[in-house]
Structure 1
């Protein structure tokens, strides 16, 4: 029910933030550990809130076309593995752990992390929770994911570790945020029919599977272009372009989107998109560390 395989979407930006802090000569192992645990806990909370509110809205019950474990939620409620109360307890316990980590960082470091963490928590909660239900608002859900798993998360880690609020970490997180938004986007394709029935009007429901595919391509191009622009501007080291070695995974995902947009063989593209975010982010982090 926590959808642990997706936690790499949080782990990679946290590692990038740690590398940027080390590059600035201000790495603190204790504060980094608190930031890591807090970020992972908040992601678990967001995943379980997502399951809970998608269940309450009827979205997951209406979905028979999901690709486990990539779309359709965790199915933990549908399969009777947990109750609504148990899911809510998991979500709020995870959120409490995140708050405790944030409070510790604020005490030993800077209170700025509380504001950044609160922003991330609100995006995670409001993604599927009414009345905002960002996931149903024609692109706001995808935007929330791109911000939360890119600029906001990298900025939060660097701020937690260094005690300094700066623009560069947020910009450095943009490529990862865009790649993570593509994980969401390709996972929306098999869910689109049932999501439309329950009013979850995300980008694929709004523009159709082919429109979603075009947006996927645009986000992938934007992720790479923004990374190259950061290097050209001297904001991240040229060694970070090592991440481009992960792009064959992007090509694999694009092939799946071209050939299997309307059938279950698309699952290979779902896998490739997750692996692309992971590999690209790890290589980007390594390049920042080496550079």
Structure 2
């Protein structure tokens, strides 16, 4: 196993690709858009403090980025994604493998410091919620049974990058938790779950010797059917909330992101090529960006 090779070798492995790929900047929409929407909901009900908004956004991005770093670090230790790492420093554009967790810990420490300031400025609830986010972000990839390896990846993302981050960005602006912000958080929950599920559908063949994902438990066809349901629910919920007045009528502009959802679903069709299946994750990320930004825009306007 690669794990024993890494542990028993004095060789240093380096990340082949760039820092942008290591930090997975395209996935950060999972934090950015729900915070924009939660703060947008606060702006509808009154004023917002932009210093609190920026602090909340920065802390959440640091936690998600740290989780991304831990994910690559532990995947390599568990024998996955060997092609991402090399012992030839001239062939690398990223950091050494052993430095990755230290970078993640530094980010978490910075997020904690910001969180303490936010708690003083707004609500103490940010402390236990933030701690829970850090713990689950770490356990997503770490430990003998990472959460992503026992079919819970989509569930963790659904909770923490849906209701938790959306509601918290609203509450820190001085507003009480209520049904409206909880309802607005649901499209983001289904949206991020669809992104994680897309990744796991793409990697069914690669993952079968390392982990058991929800896509593997359901098997490919049922997993794709579930993905279709999740994508549909993101739109149905927004249209329903706009119809009953929780969201403004302008929220229907999320329909402009449908082409990205269509391309995502098409990339996973029965006769899709391997290249098309791999591109599914790209379309999932673009769909999250488009849908999330359009919904946030409708609230801010």
1:114 is matched with 127
Q: For the Cα contact (< 8 Å) 1:28–1:162, is it kept in 2?
A: no
Q: Distance in 2 between matches of 1:25 and 1:91?
A: 36
Aligned-residue CA RMSD in angstroms? 2.1
1:50 is matched with 71
Q: Distance in 1 between matches of 2:244 and 2:218?
A: 35
Change (3 A) 1:10 1:114: same
Q: For the Cα contact (< 8 Å) 2:40–2:299, is it kept in 1?
A: yes
Once the two structures are superposed, what CA deviation does each residue of 1:208-234 show, in whole Å capped at 9, x if it has no partner? 222221111011112222222322343
**1:202-281, aligned counterparts within 5 Å?**
202-258=213-269, 260-261=271-272, 263-281=274-292
**1:167-186, aligned counterparts within 5 Å?**
167-186=179-198
SS in 2 for 1:9: helix
For the pair 1:8 / 2:29, whether they are aligned, the reply is yes
Q: For the Cα contact (< 8 Å) 2:42–2:175, is it kept in 1?
A: no
Give the number of equivalent residue pairs: 276
SS in 2 for 1:234: coil
Q: For the Cα contact (< 8 Å) 1:112–1:165, is it kept in 2?
A: no
TM-score (norm 2): 0.84
Q: For the Cα contact (< 8 Å) 1:28–1:161, is it kept in 2?
A: yes
Change (3 A) 1:115 1:170: farther
Q: CA deviation at 1:2?
A: 1.3
SS in 2 for 1:161: coil
Once the two structures are superposed, what CA deviation does each residue of 1:78-106 show, in whole Å capped at 9, x if it has no partner? 87643343111111111111111111101
Once the two structures are superposed, what CA deviation does each residue of 1:160-206 show, in whole Å capped at 9, x if it has no partner? 222533343232121122112111111223322231101x1111222
More displaced, 140-149 or 124-133?
A: 124-133
For the pair 1:160 / 2:181, whether they are aligned, the reply is no
2:13 is matched with none
Structure 2: segments with no counterpart, 5+ residues: 1-21
Q: Distance in 1 between matches of 2:125 and 2:299?
A: 24
Structure 1: segments with no counterpart, 5+ residues: 65-74
Q: CA deviation at 1:282?
A: 0.9
